């Protein structure tokens, strides 16, 4: 199953189930402002720095699920 995340700037990111369940090899976070991916991000991360846009708006993918940001 694949989910979709939409950032505030309209960027859509396909989110594989492995990013949510942690069954993949990397922990991924997504920036809620620009949609950039950040690897080695804890599942419960909130407000981590985004190298893409410079804001502190990166959240762990499981955290985004709890925030109802994945469709």
* Residues 15 and 70 sit within 8 Å (Cβ to Cβ): yes
The per-residue pLDDT for range 5-61, each reduced to its tens digit, is 999 999 999 999 999 988 877 899 999 999 999 999 999 999 999 999 999 999 999
Closest CA to 53 of 5, 6, 7, 4: 7
Rounded Cα gap, residues 70 and 25, in angstroms: 21
């Amino acid at each position: 199953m694949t989910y979709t995340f939409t950032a505030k700037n309209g960027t859509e990111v396909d989110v594989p189930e492995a990013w949510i369940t942690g069954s993949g090899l990397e922990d991924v976070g997504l920036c809620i402002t620009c949609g950039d991916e950040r690897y080695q991000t804890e599942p419960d991360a909130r407000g981590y720095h985004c190298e893409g846009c410079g804001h502190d708006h990166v959240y762990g993918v499981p955290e985004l699920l709890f925030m109802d940001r994945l469709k």
